[in-house]
Amino acid sequence: MKTATSRRNSLVVTIPVLLASVAWVFLVFMPVQETIDRLDDEASEMRQYCDRAGALLPVLQRTSREVAEIHDRIANWSETVPSRRDLTSLLGTITASARSAGLRTTRFNPEPIMTHERIAKVPLSMVVTGPFPNVFEFLGKLESMTECIWIDSLEIEKTEVDRQDVSCEIVLAIFMDNPKDSDQTNYVDGR
């Protein structure tokens, strides 16, 4: 049996141990646990960031390749851009490409040259007629030209005369260097 003294001695030992345990929980364990939880959250955020960054790597590599291609095109611009004296020859090459694709040119209308800050644009409206595969071949020839030619608009419809043929109205934009470094759109030919 325990005596009152032994109970008191037991309480004298138990209470300080209990107080020390409670103090340790509040002063050591809980702050350390909060730090661990915060570090777990940060580690989770970093893992998510790394996962997202890993997914962006192919996009970054593709973008880097595209930027390199653009820099190459800019560097080669002066080699491929037609000058004004080359324009007549280029227009002849376009009509010859249509003819070699087996098409008839029913309208060929170069419009006035428009100059911008660093480039000049020659709008060209034309209509070619022939079988659809030939039109497709002609468009491929236009795209394979080294000069900077854009197709602004394209309309294809069956012809009334021969239902096998199509009529293709194309508006092209041929780009050249602007020798007059203007800062606004203007018509070089005074129109």
**Tens digits of pLDDT across the chain (191 residues):** 567 677 777 777 788 888 888 888 888 888 888 988 998 899 899 888 888 877 888 888 899 999 999 888 777 776 777 777 788 888 999 999 999 999 999 999 999 888 887 788 899 999 999 999 999 999 999 988 878 888 999 999 988 776 788 999 999 998 887 766 444 444 444 44
Residue 191: CB partners within 8 Å, gap ≥ 6? 112
Q: What pTM, to 2 d.p., does this model score?
A: 0.55
Q: Name the residue with tokens 């602007």.
A: 178
The residue count of the chain comes to 191
DSSP lists the bridge partners of residue 15 as: none
